Amino acid sequence: MMRAEKMVLVGNERGVHGRVATRLAGIAASHGVRLFLCHGEDRVECSSILDVLSLALARGTAVGLVAEGPQAERALAAAAEIINAQDDACHDRAG
C-alpha cells in the first residue's frame, strides 16, 4: 500500500473550519485513500468532518498529513494545498 506523509502549516485566518474539513473529506473520497490529520497526540481520519473540527486547528499551527492508498501522493498534494491556503478561494478548485 502506498503511504505519503507531510508536515504543513494551517494558512487560513479562520484555521481549519467547516469548509476546509468538508474539502478534506472530499479529497479522501475522490482519491480513494485514507487521509489523516495529526496534531500532537491526536490523529483523526479526514472522512469524519467532526473529528477534523474537534482538533480546533488555528492559523499557523503545524499539522501532519498522512495519506494511505494507491493515490496517496496526489491526495496529499491536494490536501496540503487546502490546508496551506490563506483564503477560501482554492477550496472550490483543488482536488
CA dihedral for 75, 76, 81, 83, sign (positive or negative): positive
pLDDT for 55-70, tens place per residue?
A: 999 999 999 999 999 9
Decide if pLDDT at 33 tops 90: yes
* Weakest-pLDDT range from 4-8, 76-80, 86-90: 86-90
At 90, the pLDDT band (50, 70, 90 cuts) reads: low
At 2, the pLDDT band (50, 70, 90 cuts) reads: very high
Query: How far, in Å, CA of 8 to CA of 77, rounded?
Result: 11
Decide if pLDDT at 93 tops 80: no
